[in-house]
Amino acid sequence: MRSVKVTKASPFSLAISEIAPDKSISHRCAMFAMLAEGTSEITNFLRAEDTLNSLNIVKNLGARVVDDGDTIKISSEGIKESSEILDCGNSGTGMRLFCGLLSSAEGHFVLTGDEYLRRRPMKRVTAPLRDIGAKLDGRNNGDLAPLSIRGASLRAFDYESKIASAQVKSAMILAALRADGECSYSEPELSRDHTERMLKGMGAEIKTDGLTTRIKPMKKLLSPLKIRVPSDPSSAFFFAVVAAITPDSDVVLEGVTLNPTRIEAFKALERMGADISYETTENKYEPIGNIRVKHSPLKAIVVEDNISWLIDELPALSIAFACAEGVSVVKNAEELRVKESDRISTVVNGLRACGIEVEEVHDGYSVKGGELKAATIDSHGDHRIAMSFIIAGAKCSMQVTDIECINTSFPNFFEIFQKITKVEFL
């Protein structure tokens, strides 16, 4: 179990172009290429454990994948039954979206993952898929992996989700593309919309009206993807927080997706007082551009709306809370409890270890800003917890254990972070 010790940072000014490619979009590129006629061409694909697992699953499902180190070309003649167990590694996105993709494919498929993924709940996807005819099962009545899927004919549906989840929505959209009639999916608030944007760009008949998405079944295979994956704003956000909490510092985060459903954490940091500006440079499947963040004194805020838009960034945002004046509050974030770790508990316990006053409730927590103190933090195998407390080390010395998990989403994190401050691997 590797650990790292971080030294307090000096003021810095930095432009970062090598932020990890977007994980959510990379997953979808691999999967959606299976629905296309012809060869999809993907540049800047995230070569991290989670997304490479999705790419390997696509290969096992019969796709031809050619990777020259720059561009990945994926050609498929339809989903084929695999003799292999399909390993999603640590990725809940991978497992849940493959459930939707495979639920109507001819054959039998088994999805599994690492010890952390096998503990995460899957019934939020398996239950609505079963309701429309999917033959899908797993441990604890289909709630826990490994999951078994036998492709079936799926009925059209009008589904109202009780939670705002891009993973659930994406799984149901993928199922709807091969259902026996037009489908609709409604959610309590709009979740991230990469799936809708990308599939519409490929020619799928998908329309979003407020909180309802309507999907018509495919009449033919979709057009292949021709895409450069933008940098991941969730990964970029760690460096936004470092700049915001380090006096006389600023950072330019280049080539990130500026999709409104993905930059809510930056908007929250703006509300706290950080000086943030945006520049759009291109707009095809996604708006893409640069984000500049400058240090400014931070004040406390309440985060309770559009939670699904910043659920992944809340651990890092909580480091900013700890450095702000006043008491910041997070509400309606119970989804944090079923991530790679129980992120409410891991954030609360980590901040308390750093000398910060925190109160925990079932769907969130409150953080009283103060002075971060040196501590040793266990990531519990959660990459976002690990990186969040590593960036806290830019404010005070910090040691974080169990850091191998960072490779699941951001393999070059330390390469960039060492441009800001000193790290020592233990």
Q: What share of the chain is helix, strand, coil (3-state, %, to 5)?
A: 35, 30, 40
Residues with Cβ within 8 Å of 396's Cβ and at least 6 positions away in sequence, in order, are: 8, 354, 371, 372, 373, 374
- In which element (H, E) is residue 314 found? helix 314-322
> With 0-12 CB in 10 A as exposed, 13-18 as middle and 19+ as buried, what is 86?
buried
Maximum C-alpha span of the chain: 60
Residues with Cβ within 8 Å of 52's Cβ and at least 6 positions away in sequence, in order, are: none
Q: For the chain, state the CA radius of gyration.
A: 21
The backbone torsions φ and ψ at residue 173, rounded to the nearest 5 degrees and listed phi first, read: -65, -45
How many residues are given for the chain?
426
What the block records as the tokens of 355 is 């000398």
- Based on the residue annotation, tell me whether 312 is a catalytic residue of this protein: yes
Residue corresponding to tokens 């432009």? 15
d(C-alpha 105, C-alpha 317), whole Å: 40
Q: Helix or strand or coil: residue 363?
A: coil
Between helix 314-322 and helix 383-392 the angle, nearest 10°, is 20
Residue of 232, 312, 378, 402 with catalytic role: 312
E-assigned strand segments in 151-301: 158-160, 183-186, 206-209, 212-215, 226-228, 250-257, 275-283, 287-294
Q: Could you give the residue numbers annotated as active site?
A: 312
